[in-house]
Structure 1
Amino acid sequence: MAGSTTKTVYDIFQSMEQGPAPASSTATAQAWLDHHSRALGLFIDGKFVCPADRQRRSLVDCKGGNVCTTVCAVEDDISQCASSAVNGFKAWSSQTCYQRAQVLLKLVSILGLHNKCVSELCELCEASCSPSTLVRLLQYYSSWAQLRDTLITNWKPLGVVAVVVSDDCSLYSLFLKVLPALAMGNSVIVVPGQYTAPPVLLLAQLFTGAGLPAGALNVLTGGDVSLGANVAQNPSISYVTYSGNKQVCDAVMLCKATAGMGIPISVSPCIGATCPFIIFDSADIDSAVDGAIEAAFRKKKEAHWVLCVQENVLDSVVSRLRLRMERMKCVGLRSDEDRVLVDAAVHEAQQQGATLIQSCSAPPSGAQYPPTVVCGTAPASPCVVSPAPGPLLPVLTFRSYTEAVTLGNHSPHGQAASIWTEDLTLAQETAKNLSVGSVWVNSHSVWDPCLPVAGHKDSGTCTDGGQEGMYQFLRPSSSLSPPLPRSSPLPMDYTKFGTGASPVIIPDDSVSAPKSYLQFVGGKTCKSVSGCSIPVQPPEGDGVLAYCPDGGRKDIRNAVEAAIKVQPGWMKKSPSARAQSLYSVAKGLEAKRRDVAASVHIQTGLSVVEAEKEVELSITRLSDWAAYCDKIQGGSLPMPQSGCALSVPEALGVIGVVLPDNNPLLSMVTLLGAAVATGNAVVMVPSQKYPLPALSFIQVLQASDLPAGLVNVISGSRDQLTVALANHSVIKAIWYWGSAEGCQYLQYTCTSPLKTLCLFCQKDKEGKDWTQSHPSLLENLWRNAVQWKSVWIPTA
Structure 2
Amino acid sequence: MADGPSNTVFDIFLSMESGPTGPSAATSQAWLESRSRALGPLIHGRFTAPDDRWTRSLKDAKGDSVCSVLCAVEEDISQGVSSSASGFLSWSALSCHQRATVLLKWASALGQYGPCVAEVSDLSPASCPPASLVRLAQYYSSWAQLRDTLLPHWSPLGVVEVVVSDDCPLYFLMLKVLPALAMGNSVLVVPGLSTAPSALLLAQLFTEAGLPAGALNVLTGNVVSLGAAVACNPTVRSDGAELCRAAAGVSVSMSCSTRAVCPFIVFESADVDSAVDGAIEAAFEKRKEVQWVLYVQESVMDSVVARLRLRMAGLQCEALRDEAEHSLVEAAVLGAQQQGATLIQAGGPPATGLQYPPTVLCGVAPSSPCVSCPTPGPLLPLLAFRSHAEGVTLGNHSPHGHAASIWTEDLTLALEAAKSGHKDSGSCTDGGQEGLYQFLQPSSSPSPPRSSPASLDYNQFGSQFVGGKSCKSQSGGSVVVQAPDGASVLAYCPDGGRKDVRNAVEAASKVQPGWMKKAPSARAQSLYSLAKGLEAKRQEMAASISAQTGLSLDEADQEVELSVGRLTDWAARCTQVQGGAPAVPQAGSALSLPEALGVVGVILPDNKPLLSLVTLLGAAVAMGNAVVMVLQASDLPAGLVNIISGARDQLTVALANHNVIKAGCQYLQHTAPFKTLWLHGQGSGDQGSFWAPASPALLEETWQQATQWKSIWIPTA
What TM-score range do you get, normalising by the shorter chain?
over 0.9
Query: Aligned runs of 1:87-236 on 2, under 5 Å?
Result: 87-124=86-123, 128-236=127-235
Match of 2:568 in 1: 623
Match of 1:16 in 2: 15
Of the candidates 641, 646, 662, which is equivalent to residue 732 of structure 1? 662
Q: What letter matches 1:240 in structure 2? A: S
Q: 1:348 aligned to 2:335? A: yes
Distance in 2 separating the partners of 1:356 and 1:717: 56
Contact 1:70–1:222 (8 Å) recurs in 2: yes
The alpha-carbon distance between structure 1 residues 24 and 670, as it changes in their structure 2 partners (threshold 3 A), is same
How far off its partner does 1:74 sit?
Answer: 1.0
Aligned to 2:470: none
* Counterpart position of 2:417: 430
What's 1:241 paired with?
239
- 1:270-319 Cα shifts (integer Å, max 9, x gaps): 00311111111110011111111121223631211111111211122122
CA distance in 1 between counterparts of 2:377 and 2:393 reads 25
Instruction: Work out whether 1:771 is the aligned partner of 2:692.
Output: yes
Q: Which runs of 5+ in 1 are unaligned?
A: 243-250, 436-456, 503-527, 703-707, 735-742
| Range with bigger deviation, 399-408 or 358-367 | 358-367
Query: Match of 1:535?
Result: 480
State which drifts further: 548-557 or 145-154.
Answer: 145-154
The alpha-carbon deviation at position 326 of structure 1 amounts to 2.3
Does the 8 Å contact 2:125/2:321 carry over to 1?
A: no
Q: Aligned-pair distance for 1:476?
A: 0.9
Q: CA deviation at 1:212?
A: 0.8
Equivalent in the alignment of 1:453: none
Partner of 1:475: 441
Q: Pick from 220, 224, 248 the counterpart of residue 259 of structure 1.
A: 248
1:324 aligns with 2:334: no
Cα offsets for 1:519-557 (capped at 9, x unmatched)? xxxxxxxxx972211111123242422211000000000
* Counterpart Cα distance in 2 of 1:168 and 1:92: 30
Shift in Å at residue 604 of structure 1?
2.8
Native 8 Å contact 2:365 2:383 kept in 1: yes
- Is the aligned partner of 1:746 residue 2:712? no
Task: State how far apart, in whole Å, the 2-side matches of 1:11 and 1:795 are.
Answer: 22
Is the alpha carbon distance of 1:647 and 1:557 closer, same or farther for their aligned partners in structure 2, counting shifts above 3 Å? same
Equivalent residue for 1:757, pick from 678, 695, 713: 678
2:619 alignment counterpart:
674
Partner of 2:584: 639
C-alpha deviation, 1:661, in angstroms: 1.5
Please report how far the alpha carbon of residue 10 of structure 1 lies from its aligned counterpart in structure 2 after TM superposition. Answer: 4.8
1:491 to 442, 445, 455: 455
Q: Is the 8 A contact 1:657 1:685 kept in 2?
A: yes
Is residue 703 of structure 2 the alignment partner of residue 782 of structure 1?
Answer: yes
Quick check: 1:663–1:769 contact (8 Å CA) kept in 2? no
Aligned residue runs from structure 1 range 519-598, under 5 A: 530-598=475-543
Aligned in 2, Cα 1:362/1:716: closer, same or farther, shift over 3 Å? farther
C-alpha distance in 1 between matches for 2:495 and 2:331: 51
Q: How many residues align?
A: 711
Task: Percent identity, please.
Answer: 64
Range with greater deviation from structure 2 (764-773 or 656-665): 764-773
Question: Secondary structure of the residue that 2:532 maps to in structure 1?
Answer: helix
The CA deviation at 1:629 is: 0.6
* Superposed displacement of residue 625, structure 1: 0.8
| Per-residue CA distance 1:222-261 (angstroms, 9 max, x = gap) | 1443221222233332x1113xxxxxxxx32x1122224x
CA distance in 1, matches of 2:510, 2:409: 33
Residue aligning to 1:35:
34
Q: Partner amino acid for 1:649? A: P
TM superposition shift of 1:590:
3.3
CA distance in 2, matches of 1:73, 1:584: 58
Once residues 469 and 150 of structure 1 are traced to their aligned partners in structure 2, the CA distance between those partners, rounded to angstroms, is 17
| Residue 486 of structure 1: how far off its partner (Å) | 4.6
The answer to whether structure 1 residue 305 and structure 2 residue 292 are counterparts is yes
Deviations 1:599-631 (A, max 9, x none): 324323344444444333322221211111111
Q: What SS is found at the alignment partner of 2:89?
A: helix
AA matched with 1:485: R
> CA offset at residue 713 of structure 1?
0.7
Moved more, 222-231 or 13-22: 13-22
Change (3 A) 1:361 1:644: closer
> Which residue of structure 1 aligns with residue 469 of structure 2?
none
Residue deviations 1:110-168 (CA, integer Å, cap 9, x gap) = 22222222222223555522221121111111111111111111111111111111111
Give how far 1:499 is off: 5.0
Work out the CA distance in 1 between the residues paired with 2:465 and 2:61. Answer: 60
Report how far residue 78 of structure 1 moved: 1.1
Mapped contact 1:127–1:196 kept (Cα < 8 A): no
Deviations 1:335-378 (A, max 9, x none): 22222222222222222222222234987993332222222222
CA contact (8 A) 1:683 1:713 kept: yes
| Paired AA for residue 241 in structure 1 | D
Deviation at 1:712, TM superposition (A): 0.3
Q: For 2:398, which of 411, 436, 442 is the aligned residue?
A: 411
Q: Distance in 2 between matches of 1:11 and 1:771?
A: 68
Query: How high is the TM-score relative to the length of structure 2?
Result: 0.94
Q: CA RMSD in A?
A: 2.4
Q: Distance in 1 between matches of 2:700 and 2:585?
A: 29
- Structure 2, unmatched stretches of 5+, are 467-472
Give the direction of change, closer, same or farther, for the CA distance of 1:685–1:23 in structure 2 (3 Å limit): closer
User: Match of 2:51, as an amino acid?
Assistant: A
Structure 1 Cα separation of the partners of residues 63 and 459 of structure 2? 47
Q: 2:646 aligns with which of 712, 716, 725?
A: 716
Partner Cα distance (1:6, 1:499) in 2: 74
Which residue, out of 239, 250, 268, partners 1:281?
A: 268
Which letter maps to 2:318?
Answer: V
Which whole-Å CA distance do the structure 2 matches of 1:310 and 1:161 have between them?
Answer: 45
CA distance 1:767–1:589, change in 2 (3 Å): closer
Partner of 1:795: 716
1:23/1:202 Cα in 2 relative to 1: closer, same or farther (>3 Å)?
closer
